[in-house]
Amino acid sequence: MKSNLSKISIDEFADKRTKLPFSEPRNEKLAVVTHYLQNYHNDTSKFYKPKARKYFDEMLLAKFGEETYSEVSEKALQQVLFEVEDVPFPTPENYKFTFVDLFAGVGGFRIALQNLGGKCVFSSEWDEQAQKTYKANFGEIPFGDITTEATKKNIPPKFDILCAGFPCQAFSIAGKRGGFEDTRGTLFFDIATIKDIT
């Protein structure tokens, strides 16, 4: 076999030097793949699977080419699955409920809900540095801007709790108190529309 699977990693696919045939934003595809892998052992994986397998195959073809792609596909999936599960803050094995983590930051709400027995099925965070930390903590790259319809379409139809730590500066007594007149304050309405989408 020409390829060396010991070096395959989600981080490698995220490397900007890697030329991938992606028409959609790179992080969205990586988010789909990592969300699929994080839910590999439960029903939510069915929601992510069609896109995730397509994107994962694109990544492998870009790395290995058609000659060795079929030889490495399943082994690569198992290797990357181990990578995303071997994290500092894993999901509880016998979780009791599922949740969505919006405005996820580096994962403070997620840790709290996991400690209560929750399983995250979707995360969203637009800040690139926070996304990197979140991935290091949980093995999952959050989707980007939750105000876009493209991101909202990736929210699975079934979950128990919606968690959203949207910016509070618009409402804080320490700030200008612009409320809904402040752009940050209007992010609340994006959260409110999610129940109508799923």
Active site residues: 168
Rounded CA separation 99/118 (Å) = 7
Q: Read off φ and ψ for residue 99, nearest 5 degrees.
A: -150, 160
| DSSP code at position 174 | T
Contact at 8 Å (CB) between 36 and 49?
yes
Q: Read off φ and ψ for residue 102, nearest 5 degrees.
A: -95, 155
Rounded CA separation 79/165 (Å) = 33
Q: Read off φ and ψ for residue 97, nearest 5 degrees.
A: -155, 165
Rounded CA separation 20/9 (Å) = 15
